[in-house]
Amino acid sequence: MDLDFGDYDAPDYFTEDMIPEDMDLSDLDLSNIPEDVLEQLMAKYFQNNYETYDYESDPQPVDISYVEHFKDCGLPTLQQAIQIIGPLLLLSVCVKLSAVTGFPKVLVHLLSTATGLVSLYLFFHTSLHFLITFSILGYSLLFLLDQTNYQRKGAACAVMCLLYLLTLELFVAEPTEWHKVRGSQMILAMKIISMGFDLDTGQIPSLPGPVEYQGYCFCVGSVIFGPWTSYNSYLEVVQSSSLNWRWLFSGIFAVFLSLICLLLSTCVSSILFMTTEYKWLQAYRDAFSFRTSHYFVSYASEATAILVGFGETRSDDKITWNIPVARPWRVEIPRSLGEVVVSWNLPMHHWLKAYVFKISRPLGQFPAVLLTFMASAMLHGLNFQLAAVLISLAFISYIEFGLRKKLADAFSACILARSCKPECVHNYRTFHPIVLLMNLVFGLLTIFHLAYLGVMFDTDSSLQEEGYDMSHTLNKWSELDYASHYVALVTFLCYWLI
């Protein structure tokens, strides 16, 4: 069976003095993305409500009223979230309605640009000039390359984006200011690079005009949370005249799921294992909080993308809207670490597969995998913590893939890192007791790795303001005795000996 391992991808905030006691949104600086907002809200909530109790010195059961907990944590959190993402949802609807009501296409592009810039200002205020400058540089380079008939536009755009982002982070922007806009900068870089490669391959016949280009770059449906979308899919949004109740229902349902994940991250995970001193349960709790905060952002991005018109699908005269960003169930109940990496961020996974892995595949399987993870790390900025996690994921998932491939061939069993297709030729199929047991063991091992790798994504605002450094990451891992890396080493020895 020909298995493609390389379809993987792996992954800013209110400071404490910006969060007033009464949690009034009118006093908040909305220049930060909600993934860190929710973490800071959680930290502030527990500082206000539980700072007088020392759980470490007295790990006795505490009588907590879950009703009061929901009133104190759940309701304010939901109110804050709705007030933060509400404007994005309304602006997305405006762009969609302009497209279906027959506005001239140039006006739809201009409205897409304007609403995106308004959204950026609401979240980042004057820091949006970094993104405006970036988009102008991107188009200037594409125009110059197009005029000179240069045949490697994608590679040139990738180099330009890398140099621009590194220059900003190292020499221009303040650390706190940079971390605010890092997510949107990453999405914009992915759009510019993908446009360059698509021009090379002919998927985009000719360079778009500046109005169309800016409408794509600043489309309100993806400019804040993501997801990455191709230029051709953006044109489909502008040209579509479809609208029905499924569109609205799909958008509202995505908002509902995002709010559920927000509550899990801020109010549920915070009381998980609250009185335990066992470090691995605490690690799982912290990692779970981080993962659910990511799901919140993923579903919020799905909602804005659907409401602006992405994800339209026609089947038997039925029109539906669906643009999945993450698959939480495949992360929380995983088959393998590779499946987790793919399911974490599907649009970025597709981007990395198309514009990094396939291009570097001639170098070999493992070099292409490693370059894919390195590209993901560089898009996220010079962040040792994230780079360490992504590189660790590359090695651990590759080792797991290789080991399970050898075991599947040796025992003719469906224990590959990916689920077997219905026509597989293994003797021992998916529901055989031994196969179920082996897949369960590997699934539990994946949960172990996730707790270890995600433990350093905590809510320490003093570190978040400038990014986590090397010492923070190594200290977190040392508290868990570097267990995941040792397990990976043992796994590699098993892979090498078989």
CA distances to 90, 268, 288, 298, 326 from 291, in Å: 27, 13, 5, 10, 11
* From 109, 380, 426, 449, the catalytic residue: 380
CA dihedral 7, 8, 13, 16 (to 10 degrees): 160
Is 129 labeled as catalytic in the residue annotation? no
Place of tokens 């404007």: 87
Whole-angstrom Cα distance, residue 250 to residue 96? 14
Residue 88 makes CB contacts below 8 A (sequence gap 6+) with 119, 220, 224, 225, 300, 304
Alpha carbons 335 and 440: distance in angstroms, whole number: 8
**Secondary structure string (H, E, C) spanning the chain:** CCCCCCCCCCCCCCCHHHCCCCCCHHHCCCCCCHHHHHHHHHHHHHHHHHCCCCCCCCCCCCCCCHHHHHHHHHHHHHHHHHHHHHHHHHHHHHHHHHHHCCCCHHHHHHHHHHHHHHHHHHHHHHHHHHHHHHHHHHHHHHHHHHHCCCCCHHHHHHHHHHHHHHHHHHHHCCHHHHHHHHHHHHHHHHHHHHHHHHHHHCCCCCCCCHHHHHHHHCCCCCCCCCCCCCHHHHHHHHHCCCCCHHHHHHHHHHHHHHHHHHHHHHHHHHHCCCCCCCHHHHHHHHHHHHHHHHHHHHHHHHHHHHHHCCCEEEECCEEEECCCCCCHHHHHCCCCHHHHHHHHCHHHHHHHHHHHHHHHHHHCHHHHHHHHHHHHHHHCCCCHHHHHHHHHHHHHHHHHHHHHHHHHHHHCECCCCCCCCCCCCCCECCCCHHHHHHHHHHHHHHHHHHHHHHCCCCCCHHHHCCCCCHHHHHHHHHHCCCHHHHHHHHHHHHHHHC
For residue 255, give every residue at least 6 positions away whose Cβ sits within 8 Å of its Cβ, in sequence order, or none. Answer: 85, 89, 299, 300, 303
Nearby residues of 91 by Cβ (< 8 Å), 6 or more positions away: 115, 118, 119, 220
Catalytic residues: 380
